[in-house]
A and B are shown apart, each in its own frame.
Chain A
Amino acid sequence: MKRLCVFSFKLIALVFTAANVYAQGCTTPPCAPNTVPCAHCIGTWTDDATATWTLTSPANPTTWNTFYTVTGTMRNQTRGPGCPVVTYQLQASSSSINPQEVAGQKGWSYIVWDARNPSPSTSCNGQTPLARITYRGQVFNNGCDFSNGTWDNSGGGHGTFTATKPSEVPTGENTRAVAWWSLNPTVMIYEQTLFATNDMAGRQVYEASNGTPVDNCWFTTSSYRPAALSGGGWYVGYYFFDDRWHYDYVGYDSGAVTYYRANHRTPCTATIPQAMRIYTNDRGNGPTGSLQYATDTLILNIPDSVNYGTSRAGVQAWRTYP
């Protein structure tokens, strides 16, 4: 009986070794859940009734779970041909975006777009602009280009809406070498900052092939496989709710460095073309589109028996190893 108890305990211990993992991104994107909410709703949104909402909110908010004021205009021409475009002003005191983050859940941003004071307010085709229409809903992350929710107006009407805007795409990214990885001293950790006018927090980027890698340290009888992209997706703004994404790990295993040197392969390099893409069009169930925003090259460099280097997008890191 005692042995049985011991066995049972071990069995339970094994059962409970099931993984419970959550990570900043993943290896096979798209990754989920992206907990980082969209930082802003800046841009021109077109709703399902063809009205356009040209909105501004703080471009670089510093934190989530905070209300940020939204201003701008809404224009519609929904009374038929010949009637003028009606322009509403967003009420700053009641229009807001509130990015929400809850651990383990997909991030979202509450929005209230409260449009008032139509101009002109006169009738046309027997229809008169209502004094107020308010949208309440959410902007979904990853793409930050789709929102939905409910509307109500000063006439007592209510319903649901969807709105989209052109997805913002960074013009590139800056790379910074942060540190050699403590667990493998020939792997450099790189941090990236997206080039964008408005905060890109809430978006998701991923790496993709941009050509065939060339590893001329590798040789035909090598027991190490040639260097290659491993694939990965990252959440923008995960640590600091800004334009940064963390981290790209670039390098040979330290044992491989020793191996290639001992096999008289130096000087040698591996060159790995990398494309960076950003996801778009997430309607709540994960992104369904993406756009390339940057290309670069990863280089692993073993020039001799002492020095070792890596490079990402031209940002070099050198050390002596061992």
Chain B
Amino acid sequence: MIATSALLAETITIDSPRPLADAVEQIAKLSGPAINYEDVRVLNGADIQDVTDQISRKQVGPNDKRSLGPRGGKLSAQIIVDPTTQTLPDVMSAQNALNAVVNAYNTSGLPGKFKIALGNMSGALYVAPTAERNSTGQTVSFTPVLSSRITLQAVKQTAYVTLEAILGEVSKVSRQKVAMGMIPFRAFAVAEVTIGADNEPANDVLARLFDAVSKAGADVNNVIPAMSYDMLYDPQWGYAFNILVIPNPNIKQPLPAQQTPPVNDGRFNSKP
């Protein structure tokens, strides 16, 4: 829910299993730059809820596996939007809004702590955990999974295979299971890329992959193609790596019909 005051400060209020992820999603809808999000792991029993009875469509027996998810909670923060467009038109305004929600999250008592970073090459923003609450309830430092340094041989192949290789390396290095989530399959199926890495943070490799895939075949003079990720954690299944295509703010609008007077250059007739 977003409430607007006369000062063009909007209050984001969320009560959900992943309040920060949802807040970031709302900010992303208001802003232009790509915003990437990595969930914090939920390891403490108090931060996990059994949702089996809420989500099951069939009778779940005593021997069936239960469905567990993050408990989440309430998050509220005030952000400042552009007074004219009601949006976050640039990186700085988006970053300020993210700072507001991350600060609110980090003081909320919800599990873990997060930080915001600006990508070195992509100009994208990253929201990633720096601490998690462990199984005994202590908050301990945590290295973001997608900061893992990976090495990949530069091979020309479909972007999909490259993405699989990146996630496989990340899983291996971080020892966290990272599975393919919802992604734009066709984009990754048809784009062929040659992307390698030499002990490089996975985020930087992914930024290059996203840049290549989103620009593949795009009319870069008329559109600003971009993608972002949203890596969500499930206490039983690990991470799912979802990819979002950023709605394009720069697609040419149809030209109004032009009424130009006909030319009279004598092309059809001899003159007297």
Contact = CB atoms under 8 A, between A and B. Distances in A.
B189 A224 contact: no
Contacts of A287: 252
Among A14, A16, A223, A249, max chain B CB count under 10 A is at A223
Given A26-B217, A128-B269, A230-B183, 5 more contacts: A14-B198, A14-B200, A253-B180, A256-B240, A281-B254
A219 B55 contact: yes
B154 interface: yes
Contacts of A286: 219, 221-222, 252
A240 to B, nearest CB: 16
Interface string A247-291: 111011101100100111111100000000000010000111110
B208 A249 contact: no
B126 interface: no
10 contacts: A26-B219, A27-B187, A31-B219, A32-B217, A127-B272, A223-B233, A223-B240, A251-B185, A252-B182, A264-B56
A301 to B, nearest CB: 14
A28 B225 contact: yes
B218 A31 contact: yes
A288 B255 contact: yes
A295 interface: no
A230 B186 contact: yes
A24 B268 contact: no
Nearest to B64: A264
Given A79-B269, A157-B266, A223-B234, A27 B195 contact: no
Interface string B246-272: 001001111100001011111111111
Q: Which 7 A-B pairs have the closest CB atoms?
A: A221-B69, A19-B212, A230-B184, A26-B217, A32-B219, A264-B56, A23-B217
A49 B265 contact: yes
Interface string A226-254: 11101111000000000000011101110
A264 B57 contact: yes
A93 interface: no
Given A223-B181, A247-B186, A265 B55 contact: yes
B93 interface: no
B158 interface: yes
Contacts of B234: 221-223, 259
A49 B189 contact: no
B267 A26 contact: no
Contact of A51 (B51, B55, B233, B268): B268
Nearest to A126: B272
Interface residues of B, number: 88
A220 B17 contact: yes
Contacts of A151: 267
A223 B185 contact: no
B10 interface: no
Given A221-B49, A253-B180, A264-B60, A159 B265 contact: yes
Nearest to A48: B263
Contacts of A224: 181-182, 232, 240, 242
B268 A86 contact: yes
Interface string A55-88: 0000000000000000000001011000000100
Contacts of B49: 221
A16 to B, nearest CB: 7
B269 A130 contact: yes
A321 interface: no
B211 interface: yes
A43 interface: no
On chain A, which size bracket covers the interface? 35 or more
A76 B214 contact: no
B205 to A, nearest CB: 9
Given A23-B217, A25-B217, A48-B262, A223 B268 contact: no
B52 interface: yes
Contacts of A17: 154, 194-197, 208
B270 A128 contact: yes
Find the residue from A50, A225, A226, A252 having the highest chain B CB count within 10 A: A225
A210 interface: no
Contacts of B198: 10, 13-14
A29 B267 CA distance: 39
Interface stretch (A169-177, A180-188, A191-199, A311-319): A180-188
Contacts of A26: 187, 216-219, 225
B182 A19 contact: no
A290 B255 CA distance: 11
A155 B64 contact: no
A48 B189 CA distance: 44
B148 to A, nearest CB: 17
B230 A225 contact: yes
A226 B55 CA distance: 15
A159 B269 CA distance: 14
A249 B268 contact: no
A133 interface: yes
| Most A-side CB within 10 Å, residue of B65, B70, B187 | B187
Nearest to B160: A183
A256 B252 CA distance: 36
A21 B232 contact: no
